[in-house]
C-alpha cells in the first residue's frame, strides 16, 4: 500500500514506534552533557589512581619483596606427600563447587520462575522472590563465608553454603532474564488455548529457555570453582584453604604447586565448557539469547552462522 | 462434536498507544453460531488485532465483546472463551525445544490430569486423547512428524501441526489468521477445507481475494474500520478495501 497513490490512506500507528528524533537544540544540550560526563569520569579516574598510590613508584618500592617471593616459588614443591594433599584439596574444591551449584539451582531456579515477568506469578510471590534474590546476591561470597565459618565452623560446609547462597541470588536474576528473553509468540499461542499459568511456564517458556539456562548453570559452576579458591582463604575448605595456609606460612614452593594446580583446573574446566557449549548451542543457537556472558564464554562460544 | 458459538462486537476501538491512531475503530460485528466468515483486508488493517481482542489478549479502549455470550475480559470467563476457541496463525507460534506431539497436546493442557504431565514429558499421549489425536494426525498427514522437534520441521509441516493443535480440543470457534498463506495452493485449499468442515464457527483472516471469495460472508477491514460486510464483492468494493485498483492488480497478480 503506497501512500502517494492514495493520499486518503491513514497509515496505522506502528506498535512500539519510536518518538520523533530529538530537535537540534536538544541534541546540542546532549553533547554538552556527554562532555561533562567524560570530564567527571576522567577526574574520578585520575583522582582515584593518585590517591591509591598506584604507579611505577609503588611497584618499584615493592620489587625486593616480589623478587624474594618469585625466587621462593622455584622450584615448585613436587613432594609426594604434598601432591597427595593437593589432590585431596582439588577433589574437595570440586565437591564444594558442585554442592554449591546444587544449592544455588534448587533455591535460584524457582526464584527465577517467580521473578520472570512473562511467567506472571502473583505479585505477593514475585515481589518477595525478587527481594530474596537481591539479598542473596547482594551479600558477597566472602562475607557469606565469614558468616558461615563463624556459625558452622571451618571447613568445606561453610564454603558450600556461602557459594551456594550467593549463586542462588545470581542464578535467580540471570535465569529470570533468560526466561523473559524467549520468543513471546509461542507463549501467547499456548496462553490463548486457556492453559493455566503453570502450564504456560512449563510448556511454552521453559522449553525455549532450557538451553540458555543450562549454559547459565554451567557458567555458575565455573564461577563456583573460582570462588571456592578465594573463599578458601578464610577457612572455607578446598584448595583455597591450602593456598591460604601456604601463603601465611611463607611456604612459597608449596604455593607454586598450588597455583599451578589452580591454573590446570581452570583451563580444564574452560576446555570442557567449549564442548559443552558446542553441544547445547548447536540445537538451539537460533533461539538462545545470552544477555550476560563472561569474556571467557564469549571467546569460547563457536561463532554463529 | 461441540456446539459452535457466535461472536458479538459493538463499538470496538483499540489503540496501542494513548495518542496513536486507533488500530480498530468503532467495529460492530455479529457472527452467528456456525457461520463461516472471511475477514478481508490489506496488511495493517487490524484483522489480527480483532482476533486477539476476541481472545482477550488485547484490551479495547471502548466497546464490548461477547464470544458465545461470554466476556473474554472477565477473569472467570476468559479461560472458558479461550478453551472453546482454536487458533491457527500465520506466524510460526509453536514452541521450539518441544516435539510436535507435545506442542499438539499442550493445546489440551486444561483437560490434563496430574499424571498426564508426566505422560507428555515422557513423549507419550495420554490414553484419553490417543484416538482423537490419531484420527487428526492421519487426516492431516502428520503421523510421521509427531516425534520431530519443531525446529526440525519445514514451514508447511509446522502449519499442519498448528492446525492439528487447534482442532484437537474440538473447538466451538476457530480463528485462523492468514493460516494458509505459508502453504502451496493445494495444501492451502486442503487446510481451508479442514477448517470449514471442523463443525465450528469459523473466522479466517486473509488479504487474498481468492480465498475470501470462497466464503458466503466477507467482512472487510481497512484502517481499523469495517468497510464491507456482505457476500458479493464488486470492483468498487475492492477499490474501497485496497485503496487503488493498481494495488489490487498487484495483489491479484
User: Residues B43-78: pLDDT tens digits?
Assistant: 888 899 999 999 999 999 999 999 999 999 998 899
Query: Which helix (DSSP H) or strand (DSSP E) does residue B62 occupy?
Result: strand B62-67
Distance CA B29, CA B16 (A): 21
Q: Is residue A5 in some structural domain?
A: no
CB contact under 8 A, A284 and B110: no
**Residues of chain A positioned with their CB less than 8 A from the CB of B244:** 5-6
Query: Which helix (DSSP H) or strand (DSSP E) does residue B101 occupy?
Result: helix B100-106
Q: Is residue A147 in some structural domain?
A: yes
Whole-number pLDDT of residue A251? 86
Whole-number pLDDT of residue A287? 36
Mean pLDDT is lowest, of A7-21, B128-142, B218-232, for A7-21
**Residues of chain B positioned with their CB less than 8 A from the CB of A2:** 247
Q: Is residue A2 in some structural domain?
A: no
Of A183, A185, A194, the CB nearest to B82: A194
- Is it the case that residue B172 has pLDDT exceeding 60? yes
Say if A282 is an interface residue toward chain B (CB within 8 Å): no
Instruction: Average the pLDDT over A48-59 and give the result.
Output: 85
- Is it the case that residue A180 has pLDDT exceeding 70? yes
By CA distance, what is A15's nearest residue in B?
B16
- Contact indicator for A232, A241 with CB cutoff of 8 Å: yes
Whole-number pLDDT of residue A30? 81
- Contact indicator for B233, B216 with CB cutoff of 8 Å: no
CB contact under 8 A, B95 and A188: no
Higher pLDDT, B66 or B242: B66
Average pLDDT value over all residues in chain A: 83
The CA–CA distances, whole Å, from A287 to A178, A304, B58, B96 equal 11, 12, 26, 8
CB contact under 8 A, A195 and B110: yes
Contacts of B237 (CB under 8 A, 6+ apart): B220, B227, B228
- Is it the case that residue A280 has pLDDT exceeding 90? no
- Is it the case that residue A17 has pLDDT exceeding 80? no
Of A15, A186, A188, the CB nearest to B94: A186
Distance CA B231, CA B234 (A): 10
By CA distance, what is A8's nearest residue in B?
B243
> How many residues make up chain B in this entry?
253
By CA distance, what is B162's nearest residue in A?
A189
Whole-number pLDDT of residue B245? 52
The CA–CA distances, whole Å, from B152 to A211, A229, B99, B132, B188 equal 16, 43, 9, 25, 21
Mapped to the 3 state alphabet, what secondary structure does A120-168 carry? CCCHHHHHHHHHHHHHHHHCCHHHHHHHHHHHHCCCHHHHHHHHHHHHH
Contacts of A98 (CB under 8 A, 6+ apart): A221, A224
- Contact indicator for A195, A203 with CB cutoff of 8 Å: yes
CB contact under 8 A, B106 and A284: no
- The predicted-structure confidence for A234-259, as pLDDT tens digits, reads as follows 888 888 888 888 888 888 888 899 99
Q: Is residue A17 in some structural domain?
A: no
Q: Is residue A232 in some structural domain?
A: yes
- Collect contacts of A120-127 with beta carbons under 8 A, ≥24 apart: A120/A197, A120/A200, A121/A197
Strand partners, B229: B219
Higher pLDDT, A29 or A128: A128
Instruction: Provide the sign of the torsion angle of the four alpha carbons B100, A206, A281, A178, taken in this order.
Output: positive
**Residues of chain B positioned with their CB less than 8 A from the CB of A191:** 57, 82
| C-alpha cell recorded at residue B239 | 477499490
Burial of A15 from C-beta contacts in 10 A (0-12 / 13-18 / 19+): exposed
| C-alpha cell recorded at residue B126 | 495420554
By CA distance, what is B54's nearest residue in A?
A192
> Could you tell me which of A132, A116, A127 has the C-alpha nearest to residue A175?
A116
Number of A/B CB contacts below 8 angstroms equals 116
Range of the domain at A120: 77-300
User: What strands lie across the sheet with B62-67, from one edge to the other?
Assistant: B24-31, B7-14, B62-67
Whole-number pLDDT of residue A274? 85
pLDDT band per the 50, 70, 90 thresholds, residue A116: very high
Higher pLDDT, A28 or A33: A33
Of B80, B109, B169, the CB nearest to A199: B109
- Is it the case that residue A213 has pLDDT exceeding 70? yes
**Residues of chain B positioned with their CB less than 8 A from the CB of A196:** 109-110
Counting residues of chain A whose pLDDT is more than 90, the rounded percentage is 48
- Is it the case that residue B94 has pLDDT exceeding 90? yes
Q: Which of residues 24-43 of B touch A (CB under 8 A)?
A: 42-43
The count of structural domains within chain A is: 1
**Residues of chain A positioned with their CB less than 8 A from the CB of B179:** none
By CA distance, what is B169's nearest residue in A?
A193
CB atoms within 10 A of CB A214: 18
By CA distance, what is B96's nearest residue in A?
A208
Of B21, B87, B109, the CB nearest to A203: B109
- Is it the case that residue B17 has pLDDT exceeding 90? no
Whole-number pLDDT of residue A2? 40
- Is it the case that residue B3 has pLDDT exceeding 70? yes
CB contact under 8 A, B16 and A13: yes
> Could you tell me which of B71, B76, B39 has the C-alpha nearest to residue B56?
B71
**Residues of chain A positioned with their CB less than 8 A from the CB of B21:** 10-13
Of A12, A195, A199, the CB nearest to B44: A12
- Contact indicator for B90, B182 with CB cutoff of 8 Å: yes
> Could you tell me which of A200, A193, A145 has the C-alpha nearest to residue A167?
A145
What is the pTM for the complete model shown? Answer: 0.77
Average pLDDT value over all residues in chain B: 88
> Could you tell me which of A283, A264, A119, A132 has the C-alpha nearest to residue A214?
A283
Distance CA A122, CA A109 (A): 17
The CATH number given to whatever domain includes residue A287 is 1.10.3720.10
- Contact indicator for B178, B206 with CB cutoff of 8 Å: yes
CB atoms within 10 A of CB A120: 13
Radius of gyration of chain B (CA): 19
Q: Which of residues 72-131 of B touch A (CB under 8 A)?
A: 79-83, 85, 87, 89, 91-98, 102, 106-110, 112, 117
Q: Is residue A50 in some structural domain?
A: no
Q: Which of B97, B111, B126 to mutate to test binding with chain A, by most A CBs within 10 Å of its CB?
A: B97
- Contact indicator for B239, B71 with CB cutoff of 8 Å: no
Counting residues of chain B whose pLDDT is more than 90, the rounded percentage is 57
pLDDT band per the 50, 70, 90 thresholds, residue B249: low
- Contact indicator for B194, B163 with CB cutoff of 8 Å: yes
Lookup result for grid cell 573463599 = A231
Q: Is residue A231 in some structural domain?
A: yes
Q: Is residue A3 in some structural domain?
A: no
> How many residues make up chain A in this entry?
305
pLDDT band per the 50, 70, 90 thresholds, residue A16: very low
What are the structural domains of chain B? 7-252 (3.40.50.300)
Distance CA A156, CA A140 (A): 17
Whole-number pLDDT of residue A76? 82
Instruction: Report the range out of A127-131, B126-130, B163-167, B232-236 with the highest average pLDDT.
Output: A127-131
Amino acid at each position: 500500500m503506497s501512500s502517494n497513490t492514495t493520499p486518503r490512506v491513514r497509515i496505522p500507528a506502528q506498535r512500539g514506534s519510536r518518538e520523533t528524533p530529538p530537535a537540534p537544540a536538544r541534541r546540542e544540550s546532549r553533547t554538552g552533557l556527554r562532555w561533562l560526563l567524560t570530564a567527571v569520569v576522567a577526574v574520578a579516574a585520575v583522582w582515584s589512581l593518585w590517591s591509591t598510590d598506584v604507579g611505577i613508584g609503588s611497584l618499584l618500592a615493592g620489587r625486593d619483596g616480589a623478587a624474594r617471593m618469585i625466587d621462593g616459588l622455584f622450584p615448585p614443591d613436587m613432594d609426594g606427600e604434598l601432591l597427595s594433599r593437593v589432590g585431596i584439596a582439588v577433589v574437595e574444591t570440586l565437591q564444594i563447587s558442585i554442592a554449591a551449584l546444587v544449592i544455588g539451582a534448587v533455591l535460584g531456579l524457582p526464584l527465577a520462575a517467580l521473578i520472570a515477568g512473562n511467567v506472571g506469578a502473583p505479585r505477593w510471590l514475585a515481589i518477595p522472590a525478587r527481594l530474596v534474590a537481591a539479598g542473596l546476591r547482594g551479600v558477597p561470597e566472602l562475607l557469606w563465608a565469614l558468616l558461615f565459618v563463624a556459625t558452622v565452623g571451618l571447613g568445606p560446609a561453610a564454603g558450600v553454603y556461602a557459594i551456594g547462597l550467593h549463586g542462588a541470588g545470581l542464578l535467580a536474576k540471570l535465569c529470570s532474564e533468560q526466561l523473559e528473553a524467549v520468543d513471546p509468540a509461542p507463549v501467547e499461542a499456548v496462553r490463548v488455548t486457556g492453559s493455566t499459568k503453570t502450564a504456560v511456564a512449563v510448556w511454552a517458556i521453559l522449553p525455549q529457555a532450557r538451553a540458555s539456562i543450562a549454559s547459565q548453570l554451567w557458567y555458575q559452576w565455573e564461577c563456583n570453582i573460582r570462588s571456592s579458591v578465594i573463599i578458601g582463604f578464610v577457612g572455607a575448605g578446598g584448595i583455597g584453604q591450602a593456598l591460604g595456609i601456604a601463603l601465611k606460612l611463607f611456604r612459597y614452593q608449596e604455593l607454586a604447586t598450588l597455583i599451578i594446580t589452580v591454573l590446570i583446573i581452570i583451563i580444564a574446566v574452560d576446555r570442557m565448557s567449549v564442548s559443552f557449549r558446542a553441544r547445547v548451542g548447536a540445537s538451539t543457537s537460533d533461539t538462545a539469547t545470552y544477555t550476560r556472558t563472561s569474556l571467557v564464554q564469549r571467546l569460547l562460544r563457536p561463532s554463529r552462522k | 462434536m461441540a456446539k459452535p458459538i457466535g461472536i458479538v462486537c459493538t463499538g470496538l476501538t483499540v489503540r496501542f498507544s494513548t495518542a496513536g491512531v486507533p488500530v480498530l475503530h468503532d467495529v460492530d460485528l455479529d457472527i452467528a453460531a456456525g457461520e463461516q466468515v472471511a475477514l478481508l483486508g490489506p496488511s495493517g488493517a487490524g484483522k489480527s488485532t480483532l482476533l486477539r481482542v476476541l481472545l482477550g489478549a488485547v484490551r479495547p479502549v471502548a466497546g464490548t465483546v461477547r464470544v458465545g455470550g461470554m466476556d473474554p475480559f472477565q477473569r472467570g470467563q476468559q479461560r472458558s472463551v479461550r478453551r472453546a476457541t482454536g487458533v491457527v496463525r500465520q506466524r510460526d507460534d509453536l514452541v521450539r525445544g518441544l516435539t510436535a506431539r507435545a506442542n499438539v497436546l499442550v493445546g489440551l493442557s486444561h483437560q490434563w490430569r496430574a499424571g498426564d504431565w508426566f505422560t507428555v514429558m515422557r513423549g507419550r499421549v495420554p490414553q484419553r486423547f490417543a484416538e482423537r489425536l490419531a484420527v487428526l494426525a492421519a487426516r492431516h498427514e502428520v503421523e510421521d512428524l509427531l516425534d520431530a522437534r519443531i525446529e526440525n520441521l519445514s514451514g508447511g509441516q509446522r502449519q499442519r501441526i498448528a492446525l492439528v493443535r487447534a482442532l484437537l480440543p474440538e473447538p466451538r470457534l476457530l480463528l485462523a489468521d492468514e493460516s494458509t498463506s505459508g502453504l502451496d495452493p493445494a495444501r492451502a485449499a486442503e487446510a481451508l477445507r479442514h477448517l470449514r468442515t471442523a463443525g465450528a464457527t469459523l473466522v479466517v483472516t486473509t488479504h487474498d481475494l481468492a480465498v475470501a471469495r470462497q466464503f458466503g460472508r466477507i467482512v472487510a477491514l481497512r484502517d481499523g474500520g469495517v468497510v464491507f460486510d456482505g457476500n458479493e464483492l464488486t470492483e468498487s468494493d475492492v477499490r474501497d478495501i485496497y485503496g487503488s485498483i493498481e494495488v489490487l492488480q498487484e495483489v491479484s497478480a
